[in-house]
């Protein structure tokens, strides 16, 4: 497998609006990112992924773009952005930007023109259909609304939106539109960015026939449609191949076989992907399913394409809450989850705050939440006559706001995030969980991340090693090896609240590299404490 910088990198995701507010308006901003770059550098990070900061009415927190060349006032301006790139590069870091080209905002001038009349030259830049039997063209749902069709009274047609009504989908069949997008990509690449995280990039192609779905609730019909690989190969030819950049596609609804088509090195599409088998199949932790997913993706991409490892991001509840233990064993559990992400095959992603073990939230009322996905779902269910409190409770665990509360820097008011009123409430546990406290405690989650990241720099086995699951059928213990050249690492972890036993038969000569418990292993090495994890190097 070819060695590449983006395979060896550790990526840190900055949800800038919740990262650090430099001017007191309650929103994090790009200047705030500049102020915290040394913190990110000290952690050992190589690449920063910034969520979208293009001009936007902000209905979906920047994923509804109204101008691809402008910067949202809340975030800053072009001069600050240029300074940010410079400061990132000065520290030897790289930066990738979110590319959101499946849809725009309904306020984007392209859409305003497109909806102005059926004959407008830009009509065809979006997807318009006549009604069928006086109703929407089919029964499809969108991610954020009961239908993916919205009626336009003026011109008597429906437009198509995979997400909110305010996010109409672009029509990638139109070559003029495609060229506009490529031009825009070059604009940002020429400013010096180092790549893109591509939002729902496998949704660009739509089904030809728009026939009714048997089960409209399984919205996989929105993705992976014929023509998608032609678009991505064209994008590669026209834009990406001319730059030394990394690309990571957000690719929902794919198996490893389908995923490989996007990242196979010989196909010239994308470098890596985020698949959502873990997020979609596992509302809560499921060890056996997780092992199956890891093995099938490892086998499926082996020697041909590259994976990513993550358990949370701005759309998915913080990992220690969703997949670990955020109570008694929060620290051990956060370290265990980190170990998996950094020692399983693929490029690891850290979502801001994960490195101090930040947890999900539980606000009292729907009014405290901002997430458009959650709010729309709440109103849809309540309008069917369901009990509001019951609906509210059912949406809490997976609300996207679980990950979007402000970064907890210290124990001063608003967790040191802002001197103003934050756009979303701070998690009340900031007194205990914050960066300042983590930096003072040598045993903190933060220092464990630092060690893991440093290890990756020194040990190719963590990046390029073959993967083997030793105990595929155990419900709690996850034991696997990574082997590269003549080096083998054994990773042993106990993902539960009880002690477990593992006999090290066949691994007699072993040296401990890292562990999340401070204890004497001379006695009882075979007992693994709750959420204990150990990394060994094996001598054969
Ligand atoms: O998210 C798309 C999205 O909702 C899915 O990828 C989902 O996470 C997956 O299918 C697992 O269930 C992206 C952005 O990350 C999100 O913030 C935006 O709201 C959305 O696209 C629309 O741009």
pLDDT in tens, 411-424: 999 999 999 999 99
What integer pLDDT is reported at residue 387 of this predicted model?
A: 97
200 CA from centroid of ligand 1 (Å): 7
Segment (H or E) for 100: none
Q: At what angle do helices 388-396 and 372-383 cross, to 10 degrees?
A: 150
Question: How far is 409 from 371, CA to CA, in rounded Å?
Answer: 23
The predicted-structure confidence for 106-137, as pLDDT tens digits, reads as follows 999 999 999 999 999 999 999 999 999 999 99
What residues line ligand 1, using a CB cutoff of 6 Å? 60, 63, 100, 143, 163, 199-200, 250, 252, 276, 279-280, 314-315
Identify which of 270, 202, 260 has the alpha carbon closest to the alpha carbon of residue 6. 270
In this predicted structure, the answer to whether residue 1 has a pLDDT above a threshold of 80 is: no
Q: What is the pLDDT of residues 158-202, one digit of tens each?
A: 999 999 999 999 999 999 999 999 999 999 999 999 999 999 999
pLDDT of 233 over the 80 cut: yes
Verify whether residue 250 is a known catalytic residue.
yes
Q: Average pLDDT of the chain?
A: 97
Q: Tell me what pLDDT residue 259 has.
A: 98
Distance 176 CA to ligand 1 centre (A): 26
CA 302 to centroid of ligand 1, rounded, Å: 26
- In angstroms, the Cα distances linking 27 to 21, 354, 434 are 5, 20, 19
Catalytic residue among 166, 250, 269, 532: 250
pLDDT in tens, 281-304: 999 999 999 999 999 999 999 999
Give yes or no for residue 540 having a pLDDT over 90. no
State pLDDT tens for residues 429-488.
Answer: 999 999 999 999 999 999 999 999 999 999 999 999 999 999 999 999 999 999 999 999
Instruction: Please give the CATH superfamily to which domain 109-160 belongs.
Output: Oligo-1,6-glucosidase; Domain 2 (3.90.400.10)
Q: For 136, list phi and psi in degrees, rounded to 5.
A: -60, 150
| Of 518 and 172, the one with more pLDDT | 172
Q: Which long-range contacts (CB under 8 A, 24 or more apart) does 115-121 make?
A: 115/152, 115/154, 115/155, 115/159, 117/155, 118/155, 118/157
Residue nearest to atom 18 of ligand 1 (CA): 63
Which residue's CA is the nearest one to ligand 1's atom 10? 252
Instruction: Report which of residues 539 and 227 the model is more confident about.
Output: 227
Give the atom of ligand 1 at the shortest distance from the alpha carbon of 63: 23
Res 520: pLDDT: 87
pLDDT at 74: 97
Let me know if domain 1-99+307-361+405-458 sits in CATH 3.20.20.80: yes
List, as one string, the DSSP characters of 253-305: S--HHHHHHHH-TTT-S-SEEE--HHHHH-SS--HHHHHHHHHHHHHHHTTT-
300: CB partners within 8 A, 6+ apart: 255, 256, 257, 259, 260
What is the tens place of the pLDDT at every residue in 13-36? 999 999 999 999 999 999 999 999
Determine the distance separating the centroid of ligand 1 and the alpha carbon of 427, expressed in angstroms.
Answer: 23
| Mutational pocket test of ligand 1: of 199, 315, 370, the residue with most ligand atoms within 8 Å of the beta carbon | 315
> Is the pLDDT assigned to residue 228 strictly greater than 90?
yes
> What percent of the chain lies above the pLDDT cut of 70?
100
- What does the pLDDT read at residue 521? 87
Residue pLDDT, tens place only, 375-384: 999 999 999 9
The catalytically annotated residue of 199, 354, 371, 532 is 199
Return the CATH class of domain 465-539.
mainly beta
pLDDT at 522: 84
The domains of the chain are located at 1-99+307-361+405-458, 109-160, 367-399, 465-539
């Amino acid at each position: 497998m070819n060695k590449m910088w983006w395979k060896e990198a550790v990526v840190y995701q900055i949800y800038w609006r919740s990262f650090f507010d430099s001017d007191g308006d309650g929103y994090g901003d790009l200047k705030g990112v500049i102020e915290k770059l040394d913190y990110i550098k000290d952690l050992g990070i190589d690449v920063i992924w910034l969520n979208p900061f293009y001009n936007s009415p902000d209905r979906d927190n920047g994923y509804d773009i109204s101008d691809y060349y402008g910067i949202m006032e809340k975030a800053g301006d072009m001069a600050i952005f240029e300074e940010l790139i410079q400061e990132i590069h000065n520290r030897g870091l790289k930066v990738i930007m979110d590319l959101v080209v499946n849809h725009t905002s309904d306020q984007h001038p392209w859409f305003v023109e497109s909806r102005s009349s059926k004959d407008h030259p830009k009509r065809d830049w979006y997807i318009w259909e006549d009604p069928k039997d006086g109703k929407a063209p089919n029964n499809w749902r969108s991610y954020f609304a009961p239908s993916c069709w919205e009626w336009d009274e003026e011109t008597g047609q429906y437009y198509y939106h995979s997400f909110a009504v305010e996010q109409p989908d672009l029509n990638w069949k139109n070559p003029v539109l495609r060229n506009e997008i490529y031009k825009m990509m070059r604009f940002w690449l020429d400013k010096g960015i180092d790549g893109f995280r591509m939002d729902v990039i496998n949704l660009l192609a739509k089904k030809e026939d728009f026939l009714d779905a048997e089960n409209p609730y399984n919205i996989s019909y929105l993705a992976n449609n014929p023509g998608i690989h032609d678009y991505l190969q064209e994008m590669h030819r026209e834009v990406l191949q001319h730059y030394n950049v990394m690309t990571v596609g957000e690719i929902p609804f794919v198996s490893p076989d389908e995923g490989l088509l996007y990242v196979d090195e010989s196909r010239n599409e994308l470098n890596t992907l985020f698949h959502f088998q873990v997020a979609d199949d596992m509302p809560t932790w499921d060890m056996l399913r997780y092992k199956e997913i890891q093995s099938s993706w490892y086998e499926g991409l082996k020697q041909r394409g590259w994976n990513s490892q993550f358990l949370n991001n701005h759309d998915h509840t913080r990992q220690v809450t969703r997949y670990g233990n955020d109570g008694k064993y929060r620290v051990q559990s956060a370290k265990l989850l980190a170990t998996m992400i950094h020692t399983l095959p693929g490029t690891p992603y850290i979502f801001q705050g994960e490195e101090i073990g930040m947890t999900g939230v539980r606000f009292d009322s729907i009014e405290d939440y901002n997430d458009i996905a959650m709010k729309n779902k709440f109103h849809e269910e309540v309008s069917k006559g369901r009990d509001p409190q019951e609906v509210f409770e059912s949406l809490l665990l997976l609300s996207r706001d679980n990950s979007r509360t402000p970064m907890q820097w210290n124990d001063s008011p608003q967790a040191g995030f802002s001197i103003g009123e934050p756009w979303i409430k701070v998690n009340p546990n900031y007194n205990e969980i914050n960066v300042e406290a983590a930096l003072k405690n040598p045993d903190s989650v933060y220092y464990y991340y630092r060690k893991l990241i440093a290890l990756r720099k020194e040990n190719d086995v963590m990046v390029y090693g073959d993967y083997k699951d030793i105990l595929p059928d155990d419900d709690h213990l996850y034991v696997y090896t990574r082997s590269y050249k003549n080096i083998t690492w054994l990773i042993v972890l106990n993902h539960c609240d009880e002690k477990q036993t593992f006999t090290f038969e066949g691994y007699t000569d072993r040296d401990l590299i890292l562990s999340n418990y401070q204890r004497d292993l001379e006695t009882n090495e075979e007992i693994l404490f709750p959420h204990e994890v150990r990394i060994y190097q094996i001598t054969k």
